[in-house]
Amino acid sequence: MNSCCLNSVLKREHPERFVYAPNYWQWFAHHRNHGLLPEELGNCKSQLEMIKHLGLEVFSRNIYCQEQQGWFGGLAEPVWTGVDFEQKEHFEGKDRVIERIYRTARGPLTEKLRYVFNESTLVQEKFLVDDYERQLEPLAALIQARRWQFLSERFQQIQSQAGPGGVPVAGELYSPLKLFQLLLGPENATFLLIDEPDYARELIQIHEKAQLDLVRQMARSGVKAMMAMDNLDSAFHPPHHVEQYSASFYEKASGICHEHDSLFFIHACGRQRANLALIGSLGVDGLEGVAFPALGDVELEEAMDLSGNRLIITGGISAQEFDRLKTRQQVFDYVGNLFDRLRPYAHRFLLAASCNTPYSAPWETIVHFRDAWLQHGKV
């Protein structure tokens, strides 16, 4: 690994080579759990070891996550005041079913998740709030009662495992708009914002304050990069909603990071075009996993131009590439063309997944992408 190139890009300086920092989280978990790891990875016990085996860069927000428990997180834990929390688990076949119960002074709330073993993915079967008109009081009690504690020692362990040039990204954050989508689902979250704007605004301020406290904890603990796990797609985060509910958080979090020589990223997959100029104006340092057509609505070089002159963008390889690029030569041609287009932006680009490596991706194709990066990556 050539970690000086990663550090150059994080400083927005031109690297000697393009940086390749892939995300193999779901792919590795699936192949490990199903006994499908190729012989070359036989000694690898984690995604991080796979990345190192391939000689690639470590810039990841999920090298520490437990994929059967959540889509992100693992470096911070909630601290409750006046809420009793209980988690129950059972198996249905090989699927792990998780029920989480929050007993507040104003009533209980329950959510249900399922880790689908055959697809190595976690799905939400029941949102915490499914009748918000009846559950507004316990929802408010839950948000008011929660703060977060950053697990600094755990982070230092992960940093040590990543190595001196690796950057574990603390993907522990989410904006107020994402808060409602996580608790109510996108549809009911929209209804809540329309029907109860004053009530929602009060809860937004409480959540933002608690999340900014977590940002400060992480920044003071030496985290080099942190990320809001918002799935910033304009279908669910239209610009007027971002301006109303999330912009304050993004701007303040970015400011705190910059005071401590840290970087603030947002996980972004789906359609980005409408939000790029706004996000670029808020001091945000980067977007992870920007999707391009047909999955997204903007080419990567367009995203670079539309977002200003400082936003770091990761992406370039989506699930569709693993489906349509059948031969080694096709992969080499694709990577060579991509790098030709993005060479002027090499100081703000990380070759990565948009937004994951599918579990169906052939091992041979993964190796072809690594080899194509080695051949074409010189800037």
The number of C-alpha atoms within 13 Å of 264 and in the hemisphere containing its C-beta is 28
Q: What is the pLDDT of residue 130?
A: 92
Position 281 pLDDT exceeds 90:
yes
Position 75 pLDDT exceeds 80:
yes
Position 3 pLDDT exceeds 90:
no
Helices marked H in 11-100 — which ranges? 25-33, 47-53
Residue 43 to residue 125: CA distance in whole angstroms: 35
8-state DSSP, 97:
E
Q: Where are the beta strands (DSSP E) in the chain?
A: 19-20, 59-60, 76-80, 84-92, 95-104, 107-116, 121-126, 146-150, 167-168, 170-173, 225-228, 263-267, 286-290, 312-317, 349-353
Q: What is the pLDDT of residue 1?
A: 54
Q: What is the pLDDT of residue 288?
A: 96
What are the φ and ψ backbone dihedral angles of 162, each rounded to 5 degrees? -70, -25
Position 129 pLDDT exceeds 60:
yes
3 state SS of 32 = helix
Q: Are 19 and 9 in contact (CB under 8 A)?
A: yes
pTM score of the predicted model:
0.96
Burial class (CB in 10 A: 0-12, 13-18, 19+), 84: exposed
Position 90 pLDDT exceeds 90:
yes
Q: What is the pLDDT of residue 133?
A: 85
Structure tokens at 342: 């993005």
pLDDT tens per residue across span 290-345: 999 988 999 999 999 999 999 999 999 999 999 999 999 999 999 999 999 999 99
Which residues fall within 8 angstroms of residue 147, CB to CB, at 6 or more apart?
A: 78, 79, 81, 210, 213, 214
Go through 354-365 and write b for each residue having 16 or more CB atoms within 10 A of its CB, e for each that does not.
bbbbbbebeeeb
Structure tokens at 28: 């590795």
Structure tokens at 295: 């999955």
The correct CATH number of 3-78+130-376 out of 3.20.20.210, 3.40.50.300, 3.30.410.40, 3.40.50.12590 is 3.20.20.210
Q: Are 187 and 131 in contact (CB under 8 A)?
A: no
Q: Where are the beta strands (DSSP E) in 106-216?
A: 107-116, 121-126, 146-150, 167-168, 170-173
Q: What is the pLDDT of residue 356?
A: 86
Average pLDDT, the chain: 96
Q: What is the pLDDT of residue 144?
A: 97
Q: What is the pLDDT of residue 2?
A: 62
Q: Is 294 left (phi over 0), alpha (psi -120 to 50) or beta?
A: alpha
Q: What is the pLDDT of residue 136?
A: 93
